[in-house]
Amino acid sequence: MKKRLLAMVTIVVMLMLLLPAANADGYSTWDPVNQAYMYNDVHYGVVICTKMNVRNKPSTSGTTYGSIRNGQPVKILGITQDGNFYLLDLDSCGIPSDQYYGYAKSSLIKMDPEYLVASRLLNLYATPWGDGLKNGEQTNRVFLVISEANGWYAVQATESTPGTAFIRMKDAPENYTGRYVVIWDTDLYDDSTMTKYSTVKRFTVGSLIGVSGDYSRMVFNEGTTNEFYAWVNSQYVAPVIN
């Protein structure tokens, strides 16, 4: 009896030690139905491969609900225990299904993406040590930042394909100014009535004013005679470094 009680206490202590580690990474309790740790706060991501399959289980052998292409944003609800798959909101993927959730490989998604707006010509390199100079990029070009390390940004080389290039961090602006970029062609909603009235193109930059539920209030063409305010689904905006 004592041995059984000691074993039970040991298991409880081990679980208590594991839970803070999970919470430290932003996710909460284990969901046995979806086989994933569910995030406390909703995260958004963007696909960084040519085409990504969304499946009915966290395995490449799972049935495919559909595929989504490079650059498309998704809503991330949780992560599997091994960290290899994200649990996605299927509706956010634009995949028609009678199911609510699907799984995709986490290595194919950039969570909480950041973007860099080139305020001047920047050199792109093929490697993160300066080999293979590619070309200068025009002012105001928007780059998806895939990662940053050792003084280099790894960025998406072109706006339409997932190829990787590198920019020296010292050559690029590194400060956040409160500006955000729209990362997908999407709808704009009236500032006061929240009714749809227009659309906005991918890579349009504006300032974030506030957030309410799933929507972000932004100002576009700030400081010009064409300045206007609108609401955008938060899934389709991300911060910029400039």
Are 211 and 230 members of one domain?
yes
Are 10 and 72 members of one domain?
yes
| Number of domains forming the structure of the chain | 3
Are 147 and 191 members of one domain?
no
Are 187 and 212 members of one domain?
yes
Are 12 and 100 members of one domain?
yes
Last residue of a domain, one of 87, 111, 135: 111
Are 105 and 8 members of one domain?
yes
Are 118 and 144 members of one domain?
yes
197: how many CB neighbours lie within 10 A of its CB?
Answer: 12
- pTM, rounded to two decimals: 0.81
DSSP state of 90: H
Q: Contacts from 186-194 at CB under 8 Å and sequence distance 24+? A: 186/232, 186/233, 186/236, 187/232, 187/233, 188/230, 188/231, 188/232, 189/215, 189/230, 189/231, 189/232, 190/230, 190/231, 191/217, 191/228, 191/229, 191/230, 191/231, 194/231
Domain that holds residue 185: 178-241
Last residue of a domain, one of 135, 157, 174: 174
Last residue of a domain, one of 111, 145, 160: 111
Are 72 and 94 members of one domain?
yes
Q: What is the pLDDT of residue 41?
A: 85
Per the DSSP assignment, residues forming a β-bridge with 66 are 54
Sign of CA dihedral 187, 190, 193, 197: negative
Category of 153 on φ-ψ map: left (φ > 0), alpha (ψ -120 to 50) or beta: beta
- Which CATH number belongs to the domain containing residue 136 in this structure? 2.30.30.40
Are 6 and 100 members of one domain?
yes
Are 213 and 184 members of one domain?
yes
Are 233 and 135 members of one domain?
no
Are 107 and 6 members of one domain?
yes
Per-residue pLDDT of the chain (242 residues; tens, 9 = 90+): 545 554 554 444 444 444 434 444 566 788 888 889 999 888 999 999 999 999 999 999 999 999 999 999 999 999 999 999 999 999 989 888 888 899 999 999 999 999 998 877 888 898 888 777 766 666 678 899 999 889 999 998 877 778 888 998 888 877 777 899 999 999 999 988 999 999 999 999 999 999 998 899 999 998 899 999 999 999 999 999 87
3-state secondary structure of 18: helix
